[in-house]
Structure 1
Amino acid sequence: MDIPSFLQRQQQPLSADSVCIHSTFSHSKLLGSSKTIWWPNADPNTVVLFIPGNPGLSEFYIPFLSTLYQQTSHLCILAQSHLGHTEEATALIHDLAAQVSAAIEAFDALIQTYPNRRFVVIGHSVGSWIASQVLKARPSEVHSLFLLFPTITNILDTPNGRNLFWAFRPPFPYIISKISVLFRPLYTNILSIMFPEWPRAQLDVLSALLRSPSCIKACLSMAHEEMNTIRELDVNLLETYRHRIHMYFAETDGWVGNNKDVILRSFNPDPGSVNIVHGDHGIPHAFCINHSQDLADQCTRWLE
């Protein structure tokens, strides 16, 4: 399978999806590198950059992105894990500003490699906020922005944000990451009991994260920064690019909460618009575990 020159192929995991290629992306010197997954196409008419939530592990989204890829012709996809959230890549810095810079660098590489294509940026959860920063930085190149369960305003005011804020504040990310090594022998059994509905492949992704103290610390520290940074809704961005932005909300979402109503009022889409989908019953914030088909179907409709 073809891989663009800006990616370095990695050894393929034994259980990897056959339609995608595991790789790394080398950033500018200060950022280091990020883990990426590539869905190839020799002559795409649409190029997708996918930015995950937190934890920012692109492997969680293989079922979703593979389904989207197979349902849509002439499409290639680059999924970029967050800096510092995987052990396969070396990140020198991994704060929220660095994640934005990394996403922009990956997007620029796609633009240079595939000129005169349609470019779509998809973000999940906090990845939606990062994706919106890519749109702000490259407004003439991003043709569409898909925001899935977007946490783009006041995360601290969501139910989960209020309940878990203590775990994200220093020194707890450091303490939790150090304590995590004590439970390594138990992860396989504990996780299967805690999440019996999770597919084996998704449990393996979570287990790999929990076995890395540095990745745990990076994820928790980033969550703390999200809550301190993402406070005000960028109404001007939504209004300026309203015809390019598509959003998907769950019926209930502990990471969005009442912020959904604020976003919907501020976005104020055209009557009858299909740009916003909300209220689907039973699809959780972490859709990538067991509801990949539903979101792939929705993104396919938006692409078409």
Structure 2
Amino acid sequence: MESQITKNVFCTYTGDNEDVDTTVFFISGNPGLISYYHPFLSLLARHLADNGEIAGQEIPSFRIYGCSLGGFEVAEPSVAGSTSKPDTKDNTGDGNSLYDLEEQICFVQGKLNEVMRSVSSSTEKKQKVILIGHSVGTYMAMEILRRHREATAESSQSDVKVRGLPDFDITGGIMLFPTVMDIAASPSGQKLTTLLAIMPQLALIVSLFARILTFILPDSVLKAVIRTVMRNPPPHALDTTFTFLKSSGGVRQALHMAADEMRSITTDKWTDDVWGVASTKDPVAELFFYFGRNDHWIAEKTRDEIIALKGRKDGLGPKMFVCEDGLPHAFCLKHNEIMAQKVSGMIKEIALNKME
């Protein structure tokens, strides 16, 4: 797999491509445009490229990959200067079908398998994956971890080869500002749930308003409005938000998915072996949870309950932290450097602990 950084895909290496046996697979939040995370992923790659040694062991090289979620892909400029349409599902014949949360999980898992299939075909090394999720991406990461464990347990090595499934281990997961339980109980979740009760067609109404607004306003004025509302965001956030609002279905996709999140992200859905709180002979992914303080997408009570019930005890379970640096839920707008430093340390710790 070649390095590439586009509006829809981020893929880079921290060392020689042929030496890499660990893929850091990033899953974005909602709205799911990977370009919001370009600075974070680039800084993460830079910190990981300065590998060196820890405790006498050499830190390996990594492949860092992320892509936009389904329904959020935007047209890419072609070599000739025209634009190419993104791949979208087409269940209704219009090419603009909306993805709910379950369909997004399948979409992301499909991308993961696609990446690892292309990698596995070019190397003899057993590949490893470290998942990173942000916001609702953490819920998707936990679900993918569960499904991968179940599929691995049910499939023999010969079955994997016959079905053409990629053979890899998920060795770790890093959950940033996780929204894995009871999202509707959060401050923003309560507001959205109330709006949806008043206006069940909220996604359609807001998307139509956005289409009218972007049609009426010149691009320069629209960017000025975005700059004011977002309080002078950095260039990458301004450009990505502009692209998001101008896209044919991004706004509706974001709200459609958010509404489904309110219905789907409720109680704990994962067994102790997925959380890593139970002793098991099977390989257990090493998990890190990084919570925000006063995060508007997770209730303080929910956060504290997760830490109390699932936090590491006797060497088992995820390592859980509550941010003391004042980082906001949307860290990818203005706080990429400090987040990249923190995450690179977690990745290095997982890689060292999972070395054969």
TM tier, shorter chain?
A: 0.7 to 0.9
| Alignment match of 2:9 (pick from 36, 54, 66) | 36
Unaligned runs of 5+ in 2: 50-60, 76-85, 90-96, 121-125, 153-168, 349-356
Aligned partner of 2:180 among 137, 152, 156: 152
Q: Which residue of 2 is the match for residue 83 of structure 1?
A: 70
Partner of residue 228 from structure 2, selected from 190, 193, 215 = 193
Question: 1: CA distance between counterparts of 2:100 and 2:74?
Answer: 16
Please identify the structure whose Cα radius of gyration is greater: 2
Partner of 2:313: 270
Matched letter for residue 91 of structure 1 = T
Correspondence 1:216 to 2:251: yes
**C-alpha offsets along residues 181-230 of structure 1, whole Å, 9 cap, x if unaligned?**
23221421111112234102211101111122411111100000011011
Structure 1 gaps, min length 5: 4-18, 24-34
Aligned residue runs from structure 1 range 128-207, under 5 A: 128-139=138-149, 141-168=169-196, 170-184=200-214, 185=217, 186-207=221-242
- The answer to whether the 8 A contact 2:178-2:289 is kept is yes
Change (3 A) 1:242 1:143: closer
Which one-letter code corresponds to 2:309 in the other structure?
Answer: S
Label 1:274 to 1:226 Cα distance change in 2 as closer, same or farther (>3 A).
closer
Deviation at 1:274, TM superposition (A): 8.3
Q: Secondary structure at the match of 1:203?
A: helix
Q: Is 2:88 aligned against 1:53?
A: no
Percent identical residues: 24
CA distance in 2: counterparts of 1:156 and 1:53, whole angstroms: 16
Q: Which residue of 1 is the match for residue 116 of structure 2?
A: 111
Distance 1:246 1:188, change over 3 A: same
Provide the rounded CA distance (Å) in 1 between the counterparts of 2:270 and 2:143: 13
Q: Deviations over 1:37-96 (max 9, x none)?
A: 222451213201111000011000001111111111311111121111233323224121
2:129 matches 1:124: no
Query: Is residue 289–residue 318 contact of structure 2 (8 Å, CA) maintained in 1?
Result: no
For the aligned residue pairs, the C-alpha RMSD in angstroms reads: 2.2
- CA shift at 1:265, angstroms? 1.4
Q: Which residue of 2 aligns with 1:63?
A: 39
d(CA) in 1 for partners of 2:231, 2:284: 40
Decide which of 307, 328, 336 is 1:284's aligned counterpart. 328
Aligned partner letter, 1:90: D
Q: How many corresponding residue pairs? A: 277
Distance 1:171 1:262, change over 3 A: same
Q: Aligned with 1:289: secondary structure? A: coil
The Cα shift of 1:152 comes to: 0.4
SS of residue paired to 1:270: coil
